[in-house]
Structure 1
Amino acid sequence: MLRYTLVKLVTAAILVAVVSTLTFFMLYGANSDPVTTMLGETATAEQIAAREAELGLDRPVGEQFASWVTAALHGDLGTSWSNRQPVAETLAARVPVTLGLAILAIIVSAVIGIALGVAAARFRGWVDVLLQVVVIVGFALPAFWFATLLSTTFGLQLGWFPALGYIKPSESIGGWLSTVTLPVLALAAGVAAAIAQQVRNSVIDVERRDFVRALTSRGIGSRRILLAHTLRNAAPAALTVISVQFIGLLGGAIIVENIFALPGLGALAIDATTLGDVPVVMGVMLVTVLIVVVVNLALDLIQGVINPKARVR
């Protein structure tokens, strides 16, 4: 297990380094004239040159990258070009919103998806047919449309939940839950459908194996077999689809956050991109990659504990 963990850690570190490097050169190297974007077409050559010197853009891109890496390793992600605030401080205020939303959504998706998948695999018949309908609907519903529907119906019309805004958990746990309930449901719908389908297929596959039939012939109860053996053997496939769906969930959070006016990474990324604020965009990309890598690393380690065979790959 130690070797497996070390390999996963090294792989994660390499992935972060590669993605960060590519993103930096795409943003700083390919963006040929970011200062003109910020100052406008009416800016004079002297103003542009002065602003480039102030931002350090007059240096070779390789030198800029070396400086950024050195600073990033010390927790300094630079300064926003638009509001002159430290990027790290801005991200520190935004990350908990998006991360809390994503984690809560993936938990809700996993609970609903596993329950539906197991029910469909065990009972089959109309339950299985109903799951297939749910899966199709879940895949077909665009997150932005479903989020708008939830906000309009349960926020504006019924008034059960706030349609807009965000309350921090430190201010009120109940208030926080009320402001994230609709966004979480909007994000969880499609993800739960994908998890349910994968769990259903995995459970059916495991139940057809010889060892399950042997356990059944020995008189062991079906519930015990399900909890102690079937789900454990079906878990790796479920964890894989959860890790994949989490990546897409973060992308969906960008849209959903804007619909519900949540102060997360989504709104920050859109505003920074519109303003051409490259340091903030770079910071958002780095943090997003770190979140994805850490979550996938955690799921890989859990899978290694549940399924020892995974550790030999």
Structure 2
Amino acid sequence: MLTLIARRLALSVPLLVMVTAVTFVLESLVPGDTARALIGASGSTEAYNKLRDQLGLDEPLWSQYGHYLDNLLHGNLGTSVFTGQPVSETLNQRLPVTLSLVLLATVFAAVVGILLGVVSAVRGGVLGRFVEALSLVGLALPGFWVALVLVEVFAVALRAFPATGYISPTQSFGTWLWALCLPVTALGLVGIASIAKQTRDSMKDAMASNYIRTLRANGIPRRSIIWKHALRNGAIPVVTVIGLAFVSALSASVFIEAVFVLPGLGSIAVNATNQHDIPVIEGAVLYFTVLVVIVNLVLDVLYGLLNPKVRHQ
């Protein structure tokens, strides 16, 4: 298992370099630059060229990226051009917001999706068709549209939940959880649909297998067969879908944070892109990529716990 984790970590290093390089190139293709955003449209050409020289924007792109990599290897993500605040400090302040939103949405989607999938696989009938319909609806509806509907119904019309804002769990755990109900629901809907469908399919295959028939013949209680044996043996594809749901929620959080005005990584990445604040953009992309790498490592560990053969690969 340790060898597998070490191999995954080694493979993640070139991934991080590639992602930062692609981000650097894509940002250079966007019209405008940091100097123009700072000086404004009314700034003179002379002032603009002078500022570009001060910021090092007149250097070749490969040279700018080389400076960034050198700073990154020394643990320095740079400084925001607009605020003058260290990028790591800025992102660390916003990271808990995004993690709270994405982790709660993933847990919510996993719990509800697995329950729906197991029950529909065991009972079938109307509930099975309901899971199919939920999967189609959940995958078809855009998350930001669902978020707007939830705000209109539950925040504006019913006034049951707050429409915007974020409260730290250290200040009030109950208020923190209550304020995130709507964004978590909007973010977790697609995950529920995918996890429920995959759980149902995996459970149906497991329940039809020979070892389940043997367990029934030996008088093993039905509840134990379902939750201890069938679900565990069909868990690997379900765990994979849960991991994909986390990654999907991470990318969709950019839009959800905008709808609910949450001060997370997604909102600052959008602002930095509009301002051409390259250090902040690179830092936000790096944080997102590291989170994906961590999720993949967790999935590898879970695979090893669920299937001992994986530990020796």
Q: TM-score, normalised by structure 1?
A: 0.93
| Cα distance in 1 for residues equivalent to 2:252 and 2:26 | 23
| Cα distance in 2 for residues equivalent to 1:44 and 1:181 | 49
Q: Which amino acid aligns with 1:162?
A: P
Q: Which amino acid aligns with 1:156?
A: V
Q: Which residue of 2 aligns with 1:231?
A: 231
Question: 49-58 vs 234-243, which deviates more?
Answer: 49-58
| Cα distance in 1 for residues equivalent to 2:88 and 2:148 | 31
Answering whether residue 258 of structure 2 is matched by residue 265 of structure 1, we say no
Q: Which residue of 1 aligns with 2:297?
A: 297
| Cα distance in 2 for residues equivalent to 1:201 and 1:13 | 36
Q: What pairs up with 1:1-313 in 2 under 5 angstroms?
A: 1-28=1-28, 30=29, 33-34=32-33, 35-311=35-311
Question: 240-249 vs 99-108, which deviates more?
Answer: 240-249
* 1:76 CA drift (Å): 1.9
Aligned identity (percent) is 39
Q: Which amino acid aligns with 1:6?
A: A
* 1:41 CA drift (Å): 4.1
What is the aligned-residue RMSD (CA, Å)?
Answer: 1.8
Question: 136-145 vs 284-293, which deviates more?
Answer: 136-145
Question: 138-147 vs 184-193, which deviates more?
Answer: 138-147
* 1:165 CA drift (Å): 1.1
Question: 206-215 vs 250-259, which deviates more?
Answer: 206-215
Structure 1 residues 175, 230: CA separation in 2 closer, same or farther (over 3 Å shift)?
Answer: same
Total equivalences in the alignment: 312
* 1:32 CA drift (Å): 7.3
* 1:124 CA drift (Å): 0.7
Structure 1 residues 31, 152: CA separation in 2 closer, same or farther (over 3 Å shift)?
Answer: closer
Q: Which amino acid aligns with 1:122?
A: V
* 1:31 CA drift (Å): 5.0
* 1:298 CA drift (Å): 0.9
- CA deviation string 1:247-305 (max 9, x = no partner): 22112111111111111112212211112222211111111111111112112211122
- CA deviation string 1:218-239 (max 9, x = no partner): 2212221222221111111011
Which consecutive residues of structure 2, in runs of 5 or more, have no partner in the other structure?
none
| Cα distance in 1 for residues equivalent to 2:207 and 2:197 | 16
